[in-house]
Amino acid sequence: MSLPHFGWAQRGGFEYLHNTEFLSRGIEHGFIGSGSDFSEHGKARYLQAFKDQFGVSDLLLLNQVHGAQVLEYRQGISDLTGDALIIPFSELRPGTRTAFGIRVADCLSALYIGSQGVALVHAGWKGLAAGIHLRTYQNLQELQPSSQISSALFPCASLACYEVGEEVITSFADKPVAQDDKNGKFHLGLRETAQAALSDFSGSNAYIDVCAECTISDPRFHSYRRDGISSGRNLLFVVL
Sheet holding 108-113: strands in order across?
70-72, 84-88, 117-123, 108-113, 150-153, 207-210
For residue 204, the model assigns a pLDDT of 66
Give CA–CA dist 75/8, Å, rounded: 32
Closest CA to 149 of 173, 123, 122, 117: 117
- pTM of the entire predicted model: 0.95
| d(C-alpha 109, C-alpha 235), whole Å | 9
Whether the predicted pLDDT of 101 surpasses 80: yes
3-state helix, strand, coil in the chain (%, to 5): 25, 30, 40
Q: What value does the mean pLDDT of the chain take?
A: 95
What value does the mean pLDDT take over residues 212-237?
A: 97
Task: Give residue-wise pLDDT tens across range 18-47.
Answer: 999 999 999 999 999 999 999 999 999 999
Give pLDDT, residue 2. Answer: 43
206 band by pLDDT with thresholds 50, 70 and 90? confident
Q: What letter does residue 66 receive in the DSSP assignment?
A: S
Look up residue 89 and give its DSSP letter: G
Other residues' Cβ atoms within 10 Å of the Cβ of residue 222? 28
**Where are the chain's structural domains?**
65-228
Task: For domain 65-228, give the CATH superfamily.
Answer: CNF1/YfiH-like putative cysteine hydrolases (3.60.140.10)
Does the pLDDT of residue 131 top 50, yes or no? yes
pLDDT for position 147 = 82
pLDDT band at 145 (very low <50, low <70, confident <90, very high): confident
Mean pLDDT of 143-157: 92
C-alpha 226/C-alpha 224 separation (Å) is: 5
